[in-house]
């Protein structure tokens, strides 16, 4: 039976309605997939069949992203990392492999720093993690814009449609595009931008935590990302004690444009790579 991402539901975590898709519950290990921005759980549509064959797969829209309920105090990497630790405990997920591209990258790292026993490993990439910040393009504009109210006035649906033209080879499915557009329509995109606007503060905090993170970390990054330069990945390799970097000839949406190569790297990591890199992990 082929995994169906159409089977989605919501569940409470810390009092919030969190939208998720799940397959193979009860299998081991658990793969907890976080949404990139401005995407949703459907960002995993291409990789879903391969990842589902590797264990219990659970994809979530983080609070305030996609179709999950928002709460103002969670729009920062540090707060979101703490929320993630709580969700893992509340949903009794054990210690999952956390997949966090884009906004999921600093979230996963803060979770690992907050509670090392909560993550078996992290698979991240194409997300801002360095301090001082190294970001470009529209991401830099959103962070630097002094007028937050102007972001709330943006047509979120149109912003998402424009963002989806940045893929190099992959054409987002109609179902995924509709899910992305409706997930960030109106002022919801602008509200979610609060998260990246907290990068200057939170990534400064993360800098001091990185050398103490014992969780094995796999970094899969595109080498010509127009918004998050590869330097963010190399920055992590110089500071994380247990990490491995795979560089792909791709831009920002590496998990979709290069799903086969991205999946190969991720599955090799699950198939023993994380234990080798993590030593006693």
107, part of any domain: yes
75, part of any domain: yes
Strand-strand pairing, 56-60 and 16-23: antiparallel
Segment 200-221 shows an average pLDDT of 98
Angstrom distance (rounded) from CA 226 to CA 278: 31
DSSP letter (8 states) at residue 258: T
Residue 6: which pLDDT band, with cuts at 50, 70 and 90? low
Bridge partner list, 219: 124, 245
pLDDT at 281: 44
280, part of any domain: no
Enclosing domain of residue 43: 8-271
In whole numbers, what is the pLDDT of the chain averaged over residues?
A: 96
Q: Do the Cβ atoms of 61 and 183 come closer than 8 Å?
A: yes
Secondary structure percentages of the chain, helix, strand, coil, to 5: 45, 15, 40
pLDDT over threshold 60, residue 46:
yes
pLDDT at 278: 81
pLDDT over threshold 90, residue 144:
yes
Q: What is the CATH classification number for the domain harbouring 245?
A: 3.40.50.1820
pLDDT at 7: 77
How many domains would you assign to the chain?
A: 1
Angstrom distance (rounded) from CA 142 to CA 125: 20
| pTM for the structure as a whole | 0.97
pLDDT at 189: 98
2, part of any domain: no
Q: How do residues 190-207 score in pLDDT, each as one tens digit?
A: 999 999 999 999 999 999
DSSP secondary structure string, 72-139? GGG-SHHHHHHHHHHHHHHTT--SPEEEEETTHHHHHHHHHHH-GGG-SEEEEESS---SS----HHH
Q: How do residues 50-92 score in pLDDT, each as one tens digit?
A: 999 999 999 999 999 999 999 999 999 999 999 999 999 999 9
Angstrom distance (rounded) from CA 238 to CA 243: 9
3, part of any domain: no
279, part of any domain: no
Angstrom distance (rounded) from CA 267 to CA 246: 12
pLDDT at 1: 39
pLDDT at 273: 95
Percentage above 70 pLDDT, the chain: 97
91, part of any domain: yes
188 or 281, which is more confident: 188
pLDDT over threshold 70, residue 37:
yes
Percentage above 90 pLDDT, the chain: 96
161, part of any domain: yes
| Main-chain dihedrals φ then ψ at residue 41, nearest 5 degrees | -60, -20
Integer angstrom CA distances of residue 17 from 14, 35, 63, 70, 98: 9, 15, 8, 9, 20
């Amino acid at each position: 039976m082929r995994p169906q991402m159409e089977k989605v539901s919501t569940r409470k975590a810390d009092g919030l309605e969190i939208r998720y898709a799940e397959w193979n519950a009860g299998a081991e290990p658990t793969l907890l997939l976080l949404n990139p921005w401005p995407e949703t759980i459907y960002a995993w549509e291409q990789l879903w069949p391969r990842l589902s064959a590797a264990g219990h797969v659970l994809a979530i829209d983080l609070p305030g992203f996609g179709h999950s309920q928002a709460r103002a105090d969670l729009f920062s990497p540090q707060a979101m990392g703490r929320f993630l630790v709580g969700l893992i405990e509340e949903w009794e997920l054990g210690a999952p492999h956390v997949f966090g591209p884009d906004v999921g990258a600093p979230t996963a790292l803060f979770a690992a720093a907050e509670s090392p026993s909560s993550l078996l490993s992290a698979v991240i990439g194409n997300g801002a993690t360095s301090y001082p910040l190294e970001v470009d393009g529209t991401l830099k504009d959103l962070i630097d814009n002094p007028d937050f109210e102007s972001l709330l006035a943006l047509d979120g649906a149109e912003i998402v449609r424009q963002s989806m033209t940045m893929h190099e080879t992959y054409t987002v499915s109609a179902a995924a595009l509709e899910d992305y557009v409706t997930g960030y329509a109106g002022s919801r995109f602008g509200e979610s931008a609060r998260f990246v606007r907290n990068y200057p503060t939170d990534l400064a905090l993360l800098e001091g935590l990185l050398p103490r993170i014992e969780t094995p970390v796999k970094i899969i990054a595109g080498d010509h990302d127009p918004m998050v330069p590869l330097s963010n990945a190399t920055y992590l390799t110089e500071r994380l004690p247990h990490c491995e970097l795979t560089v792909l000839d791709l831009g920002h949406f590496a998990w979709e444009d290069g799903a086969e190569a991205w999946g190969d790297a991720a599955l090799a990591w699950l198939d023993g790579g994380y234990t080798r890199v993590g030593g006693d992990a």
